[in-house]
Amino acid sequence: RVALSTAANMCKKLPSDASDFVMEAVPLLTNLLQYHDSKVLEHASVCLTRIAEAFASSSDKLDELCNHGLVTQAASLISNSSSGGGQASLSTPTYTGLIRLLSTCASGSPLGAKTLLLLGISGILKDILSGSGVSSNASVSPALSRPPDQIFEIVNLANELLPPLPQGTISLPVSTNFVKGPVIKKSPAGSSVQQEDTNGDVPEISAREKLLNEQSELLRQFGMDLLP
């Protein structure tokens, strides 16, 4: 517990040149997401959330993070905690942080986004918002009892997994948190978004669109789960 608490503090403001040292610890921290002690689980989650945020602008580093099974473990954790009677082993801030961690991975890592879509993350989010997936229940939606920042992170995660809006469809104010950098840095000609050649931000967009084009049932399921 003390060792992980120290590690979490060290991850608060990671310098950009620390990635090599930090990445060595990622497999170990990811394994600790299965640990039975709630404090260890909390600190490991905080470490990984801070590491992902520190490298959010680097698609390669986020891909490296996702290579260690981080996305699968974190998704399993938010799913189990939700169905197990209200985040039994996680505090509310840590639970919210894990959802933010998945959003960061979905936003910057093609591998992270693909992993989440193939895991059926929309079904997990539906269960979290409706309470174990019982959407026909007439009682008050469990979503209404969740903190607003947690609802925001859940909706933000769903948003990060969708393909970008076609240019000219709608103009969102730049101040909104939903307009992530990669989404608005498309090249001026809308048609070129699908092309493979490019400036640094296009690969992550085209990778997601390519997956959704090849496996259209993923997008259909996403719509059935979250946009009935």
pLDDT tens by residue, 51-70: 999 988 888 999 988 988 89
SS (H, E, C) the chain: CHHHHHHHHHCCCCCHHHHHHHHHHHHHHHHHHHCCCHHHHHHHHHHHHHHHHHCCCCHHHHHHHHCCCHHHHHHHHHHHHHHCCCCCCCCHHHHHHHHHHHHHHHHHCHHHHHHHHHHCHHHHHHHHHHCCCCCCCCCCCHHHHCCHHHHHHHHHHHHHHCCCCCCCCCCCCCCCCCCCHHHHCCCCCHHHHHCCCCCCCHHHHHHHHHHHHHCHHHHHHHHHHHCC
- Highest mean pLDDT among 65-69, 79-83, 167-171 belongs to 65-69
For the stretch 178-193, pLDDT in tens is: 554 444 433 333 333 3
pLDDT, tens only, 90-147: 788 889 999 999 999 998 888 999 999 999 999 999 888 887 544 444 455 666 778 8
Task: Give residue limits of the domains in the chain.
Answer: 1-134+142-163+213-226
Average pLDDT along the chain: 78
The residue among 70 and 88 whose pLDDT is bigger is 70
Domain 1-134+142-163+213-226 is of which CATH architecture?
Alpha Horseshoe (1.25)
